[in-house]
Structure 1
Amino acid sequence: MKVLITGANGQLGREIAKQYKEIKEIDLILAGRSDLDITKVNEVYSFVNKNKPDVIINCAAFTAVDKCETEIDMAYKINTIGPKNLAIAANEIGAEIVQVSTDYVFDGNMHQSLTEFDEVNPQTVYGKTKLEGEKLVRSFNPKHYIVRTAWLYGDGNNFVKTMLNLSETHKTLKVVNDQTGTPTSTVDLARVIIKLVEDKNYGLFHCTCKGQCTWYEFTKEIFRIKGIDTEVLPCTTDQFPRPAKRPEYSVLRNYMLELTTGDITRTWQEAISEYLK
């Protein structure tokens, strides 16, 4: 099987490639931004027709949530038009497509774990562009896997590394304690994506680690595991105003995984413990 990974230099792209490399019968095509501009339709068609992958896993995205509020055109190009181009190109050669999406498609006001059947209501440009990307992938390629995730960390820049770096220069840190979600390891997400493709289990899926916490609680656990004595103080979102509204509660339930292939993700505590060790 031939697998094309776009956004191959990002956290998730690297992890999927790493896990696929352990499967000998997989032929990988790794495409970073310099190899393939997914926003350019002719470039996408040409690249896909030349390489003829069986599966395209789109890990390319504009994930700078605050920047999306001002760079609106770029957000739509990368998060909406790019997936559309890939979906059409894949469909023309009979290939499948995996589109990675986000908890930001919800408004964060429900205060209960969200399934794939709950109503979406994005409040940010990032959330809106990712939702439209989902819709276009569904429309243009029936062989699709749309996988929503949240609070992702892996090999690259992420919240975990930011907190560890800050702990080296700060005796005290204030961290938001009124946003609740689920920290998710790229290891768990990659495993699920690979299994969905293996099973040809098309459709819409949520995939995060199990459980929930606030950013404050997550930071406390990171420092506990690492034995860091920097004091962590809880604060409110209002104390750190940002251009893009953050979901107050965006815990995703992996309901479709539970009902179909089975949920193979770990608890967020298990995953972060392994990551830090």
Structure 2
Amino acid sequence: EYERAAREVAMAATEVLIREAVKRRDQMIVQAVRVLDEVQKTINALYSRLVDWYGIHFPELKELVEDPEDYVRAVQAIGDRSRLRREELLKVLDRKLVDRVVEAAGRSLGVEVAEEDMERILELAGVIRFLMDYRDGIQRYVRQLMAVEAPNVTAIAGPTVGARLITLIGGLERLARAPASLIQVLGAEKALFRFLRTGRGAPKHGVIFQHPYVHGSPKWQRGKIARALATKIAIAAKIDYFSGEDRSAVLREELERRVKEIREKYPKPPARKEVVRQPARQPQRPAKKERRGRR
């Protein structure tokens, strides 16, 4: 009877904890970022197929239009290059680029394709365009969630880096309980494990390298700035999870002051230590033993 009652109490307590965890929308951020990653992978794969497929008909277009989104729109606007309409292309590309595309279409080395084949190519371009629009919508959704659920982390790390950190660690609560040293290397697990195994090449930053304070700084400053940034992110996550008050302005000001101190203190790279090479020692030959005895 006691064991049954204890089990019921434990189950009830677990249900309460699950309901409290679901109330927070940080798990929505985690799932949205994971969906965003999968959608981007799909876009990359389908875009590569589109370039190969449409390149049979108009291979010069890829050399002129390098941006994937502009390329997809250009394919939809052009279709069959023999029926290219300049006014339609002007809706998606600038005038100078349109002139070059029109000229390239007139002397293209691509082959003519059947109307049915072109319809399938344009269908693929439409699917990619839909996925790109869907990706942009998910990105806006993540930014809105971050502004509501983690305003302090958003102010320090930015919505993209902040959402990526929450996803990598598994939620805002885990981020709030994580030390700054872990936050600093989140996303660099392979490099960290390699360092633990070999003792060489300790990672200085993980996904926070995407922050402009880190990747926009000289190499010899990045490790110190990444450490300062991770410290402020750890504090911001604790405030967001446990109190919810907005202290973003204070944290931002403190971070900017610390980054300024680092840049002023270390304006030049540290001097390299010269390695003095010792002259190679000649191997000593063992002394010959005297032969004793009668000759």
Interval containing the TM-score (normalised by the shorter chain) = under 0.3
Q: TM-score, normalised by structure 1?
A: 0.24
Higher relative contact order (CA 8 A, sep 6+): 1
Q: Which has the higher strand share?
A: 1
Whose Rg is larger? Answer: 2
User: Higher helix fraction: Structure 1 or Structure 2?
Assistant: 2
